[in-house]
Amino acid sequence: MSDNLSLFIDYINDNIIYGSEIKREKLENLFNQFAIKMLKRTLSMMN
């Protein structure tokens, strides 16, 4: 999990904080992928 989160944070840092251009859809897709992974992990822990 922490690897995915750090990759996500690095992506935000590289593309937003330092001013590179980014398509909003690209960031939304990345966030959604992360959220889906976290949801699947949570659901698997409940079973």
Task: Say what the pTM is.
Answer: 0.46
Listing DSSP states for 3-44 in one string gives HHHHHHHHHHIIIIIT-----HHHHHHHHHHHHHHHHHHHHH
Domain ranges across the chain: 2-46
Query: Which residues of the chain carry a pLDDT beneath 70?
Result: 1, 16-23
How many CA within 13 A on the CB side of residue 43? 6
pLDDT number for residue 19: 55
pLDDT number for residue 41: 94
pLDDT number for residue 4: 82
